[in-house]
Amino acid sequence: MGLCMVSLISAVFYWLNQNKTTAAETDGRYVVVLDAGHGGNDPGKVGVDGTLEKDINLSIVHKVKEYLEAADVTVLLTRETDEGLYQSSDTNKKRADMQARCRMIEDSQADLTVSIHQNSFHDEAVRGTQIFYYTGSEEGKQLTDSLQAALTSQMGEETMRVPKENREYYLLLHTSCPIVIVECGFLSNWEEAAKLKDESYQDQLAWGIHMGILRYLNKK
């Protein structure tokens, strides 16, 4: 009987403790998924100077993560290294990779997701940062507005392109939380490609993106 009581009490304490730990980890903390586009055998866009989009994406994502964590936000990354989210046995690696990203985002029940990419265009003169959100999504639009405002004050108005709705991007189509794609710049433009490789320029972008995320979360 005595032993039984002891086990019951320790079971209750165990449960309380477990609950406390869980609560402490998530209570009041926002969860943000940061997605570094491409990776592994998929370089993304290749710049005029040979810069690979996947590397710039990952570098910026790590910087945004640091800033958000300093602001007490829980951050999940779809990839932390130069690895795609596919298995070597997958016949369609791109599809497997995109499906895995969407699954991670859905499972995380995140408050929002920001996917980081770099752009490219046949006309070398085209440049600037552009944000995409799912057509008709009110939350996507609000997140876009917050990011656009924060990035405009951080990077300057001349750097920002007009945000666009999109109904084709896989990630926008197959996720349910507020999500945007930030194309930070054009690797097809010599000057912008050089900037995008620069640590301090990446840092400025990351600061702007994290400010935009915080502004959106604070308005929720």
Q: Tokens for 87, please give them.
A: 């298995």
Question: How far is the C-alpha of 23 from the C-alpha of 29, rounded, in Å?
Answer: 10
CB of 17 to Zn ion, least distance (A): 44
Nearer to Zn ion, 73 or 209 (CB): 209
SS3 213: helix
Burial class (CB in 10 A: 0-12, 13-18, 19+), 165: middle
Judged by CB under 5 A, does residue 37 bind Zn ion?
Answer: yes
Which distant-in-sequence residues (6+ apart) come within 8 Å of 169 by Cβ? 132, 134, 181
Nearer to Zn ion, 37 or 39 (CB): 37
Judged by CB under 5 A, does residue 212 bind Zn ion?
Answer: no
Which of these segments, 16-24, 31-39, 60-68, 103-111, binds Zn ion (CB under 5 A)? 31-39
Which of these segments, 20-28, 36-44, 74-82, 204-212, binds Zn ion (CB under 5 A)? 36-44
Judged by CB under 5 A, does residue 44 bind Zn ion?
Answer: yes
φ and ψ at 99, to 5 degrees? -65, -40
Residue pair 37/64 in contact by the 8 Å Cβ criterion: no
Nearer to Zn ion, 44 or 47 (CB): 44
Q: Which of residues 85-124 bind Zn ion (CB under 5 A)?
A: 117
Residue pair 209/152 in contact by the 8 Å Cβ criterion: no
Judged by CB under 5 A, does residue 163 bind Zn ion?
Answer: no
CB of 103 to Zn ion, least distance (A): 19
CB of 151 to Zn ion, least distance (A): 18
Judged by CB under 5 A, does residue 79 bind Zn ion?
Answer: no
Nearer to Zn ion, 73 or 105 (CB): 105
Residue pair 210/71 in contact by the 8 Å Cβ criterion: yes
Contacting residues toward Zn ion, per CB under 5 A: 37, 44, 117
